[in-house]
Amino acid sequence: MFPESAAGYSYDECQVTADWLLSHTELRPLVGIVCGSGLGGLAKMLKDPVVFKYKDIPNFPQSTVHGHAGQLVFGTLNGKPCVCMQGRFHLYEGYPIQKITLPMRVFKLMGVETMIMTNAAGGLNQDYKVGDIMIIKDHINMPGFAGNNPLAGPNDERFGVRFPCMSDAYDRKLVQLAQEVGAELGFGDFLREGVYCVLAGPSFETIAECCMLHRLGADAVGMSTVHEVIVARHSGMRCFALSLISNRAVMDYDSQEKANHKEVLETGELRAEQLQKLVSSMVGRLEHNNNYAC
């Protein structure tokens, strides 16, 4: 048997957390939203919010990153019942990978059908500009190449199958919906579609690493989201994700640019309103049975 720290929380422990949350709010969320660095304003759009600090939720880890509020917000967005994470958990905070993805299991047990994730990322694609919003169509899981996968260890069939398919990790109907909504909102000048690569962090990438990742086919690079998507898909939820291009990855040894977290947060503030409109409009078109009003 694997130790508990390797397997993450058990099904019963996740059920305890889900039951505790459901007993403290009458809202039954169908959409889960994860807010990335500087993008916590999405949660402020929820009507009739009920807020829980992570530290008060049984079994929940704590968010330690500046720009992440560290709380769960229940409410309605465009008439749809939602639960929103203001702040997520990362490998670089020291948590085992199975524990940073605990919320996905809990959301599934609460009845969530669709997950929408946002993150701030570095732009590898040289056509991208700071402030662009990239619809993630696929990902490259670099930690997974080294065996660090959130599904490693014993598999509980109540969550999902042992070997889940990832060729449909990002729901294509939701990607199409985002493109249509973006066009209607007039976001065509800064709305992109590309491949996201996750690294463990917390150090930003070297020039050589950025060049390598770009050649492998990555358009943007960051330190989150992919692990959540893997667990959400394992649990049968549909996934959609957006990256806010908060800085251009340095790929030239003559460049004086340096990636920094302050720039990430500042870019989030500048583009937050448009990103919130895009997500809100998409949520408004979701149907409870996972259909989409395109």
Given the residues 63, 141, 247, 280, select the one marked as catalytic: 247
Contact between 191 and 179 under an 8 Å Cβ cutoff? The reply is: yes
What does the block give as tokens for 92? 């670089």
pTM of the model: 0.90
Our answer to whether residue 5 is catalytic in this structure is no
What's the length of the chain?
A: 294
**Domain 4-249+258-284, CATH:** 3.40.50.1580
Given the residues 95, 261, 281, 292, select the one marked as catalytic: 261
Q: Which amino acid is at 273?
A: E
pLDDT in tens, 51-95: 999 999 999 988 766 555 789 999 999 999 999 999 889 999 898
Q: Which amino acid is at 239?
A: C
| Cβ neighbours for 25, distance < 8 A, ≥ 6 positions apart | 50, 74
Given the residues 18, 223, 232, 237, select the one marked as catalytic: 223
Contact between 24 and 50 under an 8 Å Cβ cutoff? The reply is: yes
Closest by alpha carbon to 43, among 17, 75, 67, 90? Answer: 75
Closest by alpha carbon to 107, among 239, 218, 212, 251? Answer: 239
Contact between 113 and 290 under an 8 Å Cβ cutoff? The reply is: yes
Given the residues 9, 37, 232, 280, select the one marked as catalytic: 37
What does the block give as tokens for 126? 């040289």
Rounded to the nearest angstrom, the gap between the alpha carbon of residue 29 and the centroid of all alpha carbons in its chain is 17
pLDDT in tens, 29-54: 999 999 987 677 888 889 999 999 99
**Is residue 5 predicted with pLDDT exceeding 70?**
no
Our answer to whether residue 139 is catalytic in this structure is no
Our answer to whether residue 288 is catalytic in this structure is no
CA distance 120 to 223: 9
Farthest CA pair distance, the chain: 57
Our answer to whether residue 281 is catalytic in this structure is no
Given the residues 54, 63, 68, 272, select the one marked as catalytic: 68
- Give the pLDDT band of residue 271 (cuts 50, 70, 90): confident
| Cβ neighbours for 179, distance < 8 A, ≥ 6 positions apart | 135, 191, 193
Given the residues 93, 180, 193, 266, select the one marked as catalytic: 93
Q: Which amino acid is at 100?
A: I
Rounded to the nearest angstrom, the gap between the alpha carbon of residue 226 and the centroid of all alpha carbons in its chain is 7
Contact between 131 and 267 under an 8 Å Cβ cutoff? The reply is: yes
Q: Give the other-Cβ count within 10 Å of 23's Cβ.
A: 8
Three-state DSSP class for residue 88: coil
Our answer to whether residue 92 is catalytic in this structure is yes
Given the residues 92, 149, 180, 292, select the one marked as catalytic: 92
Our answer to whether residue 260 is catalytic in this structure is no
Contact between 285 and 56 under an 8 Å Cβ cutoff? The reply is: no
What does the block give as tokens for 288? 């409870």
Given the residues 45, 110, 115, 120, select the one marked as catalytic: 120
The mean predicted confidence, pLDDT, of the chain is: 89
**Is residue 1 predicted with pLDDT exceeding 60?**
no
pLDDT in tens, 94-142: 989 999 999 999 999 999 999 999 999 999 999 999 899 999 999 999 9
